[in-house]
Structure 1
C-alpha cells in the first residue's frame, strides 16, 4: 500500500520552492496556515475587497495538514449539539448555527463551481447505519432530538438503509441531506489557485516561529508586518509558543481500496454518492471517491505525549488493519478487493469540543479552528466570518454563537495523555459492550463524564 494520502495522487508532491518567503515584507492581512481555513479566509477577503494585500504562509505545501488528508465530508455536522449551544446562547442562536452550517454545504459547492474547481462535489447526503439494537435506539433518539432544531435528519428502516448502503447487520439508519462528498486535495489546490488569481500571495515552505499583534516572524528570521494577523493552524497550533494546551492533536487514519467495478457498486449502493458511517462510539467515516474507490477512515490511534506531531504518527498498523477489517465486515462485497493506500494525520480538539472563530479588536489577532474532524465545511464558514470581522462588517455570520468562543486549556501532562487516551479506550469498550448486550452502553456515561461532551 502507498503510505501517503490517496488524495495526493496526481497532485504536487512538494511545495513550490519559488514561493517561499525570502525576506521581510508587509501585508494588510497575513494568514498563518495554508489549509482550508487560511485559504477560504484569503479567498473571501479578496472577493469582498480586491484591493487588499493578503499573504498566506504555509510551512509545507497547501493542504499538507488535515485539509489534504481528511475524509472529504462537506457536512453540517458540528461537534457540540444545539442543546449545548442553547444552554449558553439560547434556542434561536442554536438554530441559527444549524442553518448556517447547512447553508455552508451549498456555499462550498457554489464556490467550487464559480472558480472552476473540479473537486467532485456531490451532495448525496450522509447515511449513518444502525448496526445493532443499541445503535438503533441511539439513532432514533437523535432523529427525535434533531426535529426540534431543524437539522434535517431522517430515520430509515432497515430496508431503506440497505437500499442506500447494502451493509451487514443493518437494523435501520439515518440520512441527512446536508452533506456532500469532495476530493479534498483538489479543492484545496483549486482554492489556492483562486486566491492567487485574485491577487493574493501564498508562500509555501515558510514555517512560522511566532505570532504577535501586527507581526509574524518566520523560522528563517523574516518578519511580516501586517494590520491583521490570522492564525489558521488547527492541530499544529499545539506546536506554537505558548499554545501547547490550546488544542489536543488527535490522529485520524484512513485506508482506500482499488477502484471498484460498476457491478460491485451496483451491489454496494451509494448511488447518489452518499458519504457513510454507522452509529458506533468510535468514529468511522467513508465515501465513494471520484474514481470509484472506497476511502474509509476512523479514530483509534493514540494521542501522543506532550501534543507531539510527527510524520511517523501518520501510520499505525493496528489501526489500519482494524479499518480494513471493519470495512470488509460491513461490506462483504469487498472480498478479494485490494487496499492500495493508508495514511493519517492529526486533527485539533479543544478541551470542550467546541470549534471557535474570532478576532480580537484590540490586537487584531484572529483565529479559527478546533473542528474535531468536521472542518471541511466549518472552515468555509470560518473564512467567511473572518473576512467579515477583518473588514469590520456586522453580519449574520459575525453574530453566530461560535464567534469569540474561548475554550479552557487542556490539562497539563500527564493528565492530558491519560485523559485523551482513556477516552479512546472507553469508546472502544462501549462499542464492545453494545455488541455483547444489544443495549446502550453504560460505559458511554463514563465517556461523557470524562470529556464533558
Structure 2
C-alpha cells in the first residue's frame, strides 16, 4: 500500500524523532489472542485485555505500520458521536438501551483522557467540546431541532443552542446566525495517540508486528504473508480494509475523507477566529466537514466529497483528490477569510468504513473465538475505545454493562453487489452536495436532505 500521504500528524512525529519500524512476523506463531489491525480498535482491545489479564499472550498483526489507516489520519476529534442515531437504537432496543449507549459514549471521552494521563501519552488532548455553526436559516432550523431532540432524550448530550453573539465568543466565522455546542469532545493529535497507545500495549506485555499482511482471518487461525498464527481468540479490526479479506467484500463500503492543514497562524488571526479553549468545529450542513485549532496554532479542516471507488477499492492514490482539496480550501476561506493567504502545508486523506445501515457494531462468538468491531463511519477515535473495552470483557468472559450494550451482536445487512453499490454510495454523496446548494440558495430546509436522511437512517 505504501506510506500514507502527506499527513500533518505523521510529519509532526517524524520531525521530532527518526521513524522506526517494528519487525515483521518471523514464521508461524501460537498465542492466546491474535488481533488483525494495528489501528485504534486493535490497540485498544490489546491494551484492555492486558490490563485485565497481564498473563495473556497478545499479538497485534499490522499490514503496514501502527496507525497507518484512519487512526493516524483523522481530523483529531475524540468525540461522543456515533454513526447510528439514538432513535435508530431505540427503535430496535428501546429507550433505556439507547440512553445506555449514549452515556457509554460520553464516558468514553473521559476514559480516553484518563488513559492519556495514566500512560503519559503526549497527544495534545484538550476537552474543549464541539461548536457546530449555523450560517443560513435552514441550518439554524436544524440546530433548533437538534437541541429540542436532545431535550426529549433527557438532555443526554448536553447540547446547548448558542445565539449569534454567543457563537462569536467561541468561533469567529462569517455569517454565523447561531450554533450548537456540546462539551463532550476533546481535540487530539491522533497519530501521537495511536503511537503512544502502541507503546503502552508493549509496556504491558503485548507484541506488535508490522509489515505483516493478513490474507485470511478464520476462527482460531490467522494466515499472513509472513506465517500462520494460531490463537484461542482472533479479533478482526480492519475497518475500511475489511473488503480486502476473503468473504468480506460487502461488509463495509470504504469512503474517503480528505483533510488540509495550514501553516501556524499568528495570534492576530486567532484573536478573531477564537477556538481558544480547544473546541473542535463543524457546520450544520449536509456534506460533513470538521476542523480544529491545533496545539501549534494551525487550522486543520477536513470533509467528505471524495468518490467511492468501484468494488470497494482502497489505493494510495485515492488519498489525493485535487478537486476535493480545492473545495475544502474554498470552504475554509469562506468560514475564515483571514486564512486566504496562509500556506496550506499538508494535504492528505484516507478511507473510513460505512456499514449498510450506518450502524457500528461489536461481535464475539465464544464458540469460535472470533471477534470483530467496526463500521464507525468516521466517528472512530472514541468509538474504538468503547469497542476495545467491550471486546476485552467479552473475550475474558467478564460480564459488565458494556457487554449488554445494543451494538453488541448487531448485524448490518451486506452492501449491494456492484454496480449498485457504486451507484448508491456516490448518489448519496451527490445528494448531500445538492442539498447544501439548495439551502444556501433558498434558506429553507432542502427536500433532498430528507431523502438523504432516509438513506442514512438519521
Residues 396-407 of structure 1: pairs in structure 2 closer than 5 A? 396-407=401-412
Q: Distance in 1 between matches of 2:277 and 2:177?
A: 21
Structure 1 CA distance for aligned equivalents of residues 422 and 430 of structure 2: 12
Counterpart of 1:5? 7
SS, match of residue 13 in structure 2:
coil
Aligned twin of 1:310: 315
Using the alignment, how far apart are the partners of 1:213 and 1:452 within structure 2?
32
Spell out, residue by residue over 1:154-194, the C-alpha distance to the aligned partner (whole angstroms, 9 max, x if none).
10001111111110111100000000000000000000000
Please give the per-residue CA displacement for 1:395-446, whole angstroms capped at 9, x wherever unaligned: 0000111011110000000000000000000100000000111100011122
Is 1:409 matched with 2:411? no
Q: Conserved in 1, the CA contact under 8 Å of 2:186 and 2:280?
A: yes
* Alignment length (residue pairs): 451
More off after superposition, 258-267 vs 311-320: 258-267
- Aligned counterpart, 2:376: 371
- 2:354 aligned with 1:345, yes or no? no
In structure 1, which of residues 94, 103, 110 is the aligned counterpart of residue 107 of structure 2?
Answer: 103
1:340/1:12 Cα in 2 relative to 1: closer, same or farther (>3 Å)? closer
Cα deviation per residue 1:252-287 (whole Å; 9 max; x = unaligned)? Answer: 000000001222111110011100000000000000
Q: Equivalences for 1:248-397 in 2 at 5 Å?
A: 248-397=253-402
SS in 1 for 2:403: coil
Q: Which runs of 5+ in 2 are unaligned?
A: none
2:139 corresponds in structure 1 to: 135
CA contact (8 A) 1:129 1:172 kept: yes
Deviations 1:104-157 (A, max 9, x none): 000001101100100000000000000110000011101110112211111000
- The alignment partner of 1:209 has SS state of strand
8 Å Cα contact 1:3-1:341 kept in structure 2: no
Contact 2:85 2:457 in 1 (8 A): no
Structure 1 runs, 4 residues or longer, greater than 6 Å off: none
Q: 1:320 deviation in Å?
A: 0.1
Could you tell me which residue of structure 2 aligns to residue 199 of structure 1? 205
Mapping of residues 151-300 of structure 1, within 5 Å: 151-220=157-226, 222-300=227-305
Tell me, what secondary structure is at the counterpart of 1:405?
Answer: coil
Q: CA deviation at 1:341?
A: 0.5
Report whether the alignment pairs 1:67 with 2:67. Answer: no
Once the 2 structures are TM-superposed, how far is the Cα of residue 331 of structure 1 from its aligned partner? Answer: 0.5
Query: Which secondary structure state, in structure 2, belongs to the residue aligned with residue 295 of structure 1?
Result: strand
Task: Look up the match of 1:50.
Answer: 54
Residue 115 of structure 1 pairs with residue 122 of structure 2: no
Kindly state the Cα deviation for residue 16 of structure 1 after the two structures are TM-superposed.
Answer: 4.8
Distance 2:223 2:451 in 1: 43
Say whether the 8 Å CA contact 1:235–1:346 is kept in structure 2: yes
Instruction: Work out whether residues 88 and 457 of structure 2, in 8 Å CA contact, stay in contact via their aligned partners in 1.
Output: no
Give the C-alpha shift of residue 449 in structure 1: 3.6
Question: Partners of 2:455 and 2:410 in 1: how far apart?
Answer: 21
| SS class of match (1:398) | helix
- Report deviation, 1:11: 2.9
User: Which whole-Å CA distance do the structure 1 matches of 2:323 and 2:168 have between them?
Assistant: 29
Partner deviation per Cα, 1:204-233 (whole Å, 9 max, x = no partner): 11110001111000023x110000000000
Is 1:21 the counterpart of 2:21? The answer is no
Work out whether residues 15 and 61 of structure 1, in 8 Å CA contact, stay in contact via their aligned partners in 2.
no
Q: Is the 8 A contact 2:282 2:289 kept in 1?
A: yes
